[in-house]
Amino acid sequence: MKAETSNNETKHFFLKYVEPKKYRHKVWADLRRTIHYTRTEVRFYNEILPILKVHVKDDWPICPTVYLAEYNVEGLMDENESTEAKEQVARSDSSTISCTNTNPHYDENDISILEGKYGVLVLDNMCVDNHCFQRAPLPLNMALASVAALAKFHATAFQNEDILSKVSERLCRYGGSFHLKNRNPKKMQHLVGAWEGFIRDIGPEAPSGFFEDVKMQNLGRRVFEAAEFISRELSPLPVEPFATIVHGDYKAMNIFFKGDDEEEPSPTPILIDFASTGVGLGASDLAMHIAHVALPEDLDNGMEEILFEKYFTSLQNALPDAAKNVYSEEEAKRHFRFGTVDYFRFILGRQWNGATLEVFAERNKDTNFAMVNRSIDAALHFAKRVDVYLSGIEIEMKQKHCRALDKGLSTGH
């Protein structure tokens, strides 16, 4: 949209308007998440962004200028309601945990309660007036800039209990659009079948012997059985070590790069879409980002390691003096491995369930999709990395289980 300013100049704006009634076809669990996205993003711009800007070491704006951010979801949910999904949760032993799955104000046969509900944002139009551009996937210079910006964003609230307590209360207790606690738990039920379908439909495109190993054949089952353990490890409380604010949906198309030339060495990233922002570990954002932006040939040339090192170094440089060197590179790499497997769990259950070669080809036309959803080669690289990382996590799980047994025996339980 555009408007006339007081001095008769034309200014362009970005308008985002969300009407819950347009999503009335969704089941309540999914419509509820859409409404939470709206509420979270508005609250981020109004309540959290001003706090974070105080903690940025330079004049980096983080995001576009915000002119209006408001919502009305009265009657649809309590203002203090958590973004955590409410439904039965499947477990690997086929049992479930019963959770509330209804909302007392919502009747799927009567959508009148949705009338007049909305979320609205008015921001600077980055493309027209601010000489910015987007691209996906990202070449190395832009990817380096994007992970450095991500580290600066995480540094604004790293281990800051006051900020993180407010983020947890007002945004997402569990940061991340793909966090296990925020998704419809039914997606967990698809993991094993989705992987079997992937081997059947995509397997013929894989290199010879790719799926011969039994561990690779059982990757879907293994991810299912490790999902809750991994999620707990990636879900710190605001008071716990390494906790920070996470963007939650750090894909390439949620970044604008400021500048007129895509070839400039260090374009300045400007972030958008904070609908899933909350408390978490920064490595979750990084894991998602690499899955979105990296081409297979770049991964073959060590792009993952290069981007991790850039992120970690940038985080250390951006942290306040009191927080420097409290987060070891070894621990950060461990969290990154957990985050990579966790994002795979989401991709497998949500994007690869029923995916065919034709589906991949169609998605490759849309830059909003992750590279692991657009490129068969990228998907296979992703699966191979997850197999390696998950093998280490499974050792941790077994060791933890053994320690618990030993403790039980020593106490007589």
Confidence (pLDDT) at 405: 74
Would you say 289 and 146 are in contact if contact means Cβ atoms under 8 Å apart? yes
Least confident of 90-104, 170-184, 235-249, 259-273: 90-104
Is the pLDDT confidence value at 25 over 90? no
Tell me which residue range forms the domain holding 258.
Answer: 2-411
- Residue partners of 233: CB distance under 8 A and separation at least 6: 335, 338
**Integer Cα distance of 40 and 57 in angstroms:** 25
What is the longest distance spanned by two Cα atoms in the chain? Answer: 81
**pLDDT range class, residue 90, cuts 50, 70, 90:** very low
Is the pLDDT confidence value at 378 over 90? yes
Is the pLDDT confidence value at 100 over 60? no
Is the pLDDT confidence value at 96 over 60? no
**Span 351-357, average pLDDT:** 95
**Span 37-64, average pLDDT:** 96
Confidence (pLDDT) at 229: 97
Confidence (pLDDT) at 128: 76
Length of the chain: 413
Peptide bond into 137 cis (omega under 30): yes
**Span 200-214, average pLDDT:** 95
**Span 118-124, average pLDDT:** 96
| Residue whose tokens read 């004049």 | 59
**Integer Cα distance of 358 and 169 in angstroms:** 43
Neighbours of 135 (CB within 10 A): 16
Is the pLDDT confidence value at 372 over 50? yes
**pLDDT range class, residue 203, cuts 50, 70, 90:** very high
Is the pLDDT confidence value at 409 over 80? no
The secondary structure of residue 178, as a DSSP letter, is T
**Span 200-212, average pLDDT:** 95
- The helix (H) or strand (E) run that includes residue 338 is helix 329-350
Exposed / middle / buried, residue 42 (Cβ in 10 Å: 0-12, 13-18, 19+): buried
Hey, what amino acid is at 252? A
Is the pLDDT confidence value at 95 over 70? no
Which has the higher per-residue pLDDT, 261 or 327? 327
**pLDDT range class, residue 8, cuts 50, 70, 90:** low
**Integer Cα distance of 116 and 346 in angstroms:** 33
The 3-state DSSP class for residue 3 equals strand
**pLDDT range class, residue 411, cuts 50, 70, 90:** low
64, HSE (Cβ side, Cα atoms, 13 Å)? 28
**Span 56-65, average pLDDT:** 93
| Residue whose tokens read 């039980």 | 408
Which tens digit of pLDDT belongs to each residue from 128-142?
766 788 999 999 999
For the question of whether the overall pTM of this predicted structure is more than 0.85, the answer is yes
**pLDDT range class, residue 390, cuts 50, 70, 90:** very high
**Span 232-257, average pLDDT:** 97
Is the pLDDT confidence value at 246 over 70? yes
**Integer Cα distance of 339 and 310 in angstroms:** 17
**Integer Cα distance of 263 and 197 in angstroms:** 40
Which has the higher per-residue pLDDT, 341 or 404? 341
Confidence (pLDDT) at 173: 95
pLDDT, mean over the chain: 89
Confidence (pLDDT) at 94: 40
Is the pLDDT confidence value at 88 over 50? no
Q: Give me the number of domains the chain comprises.
A: 1
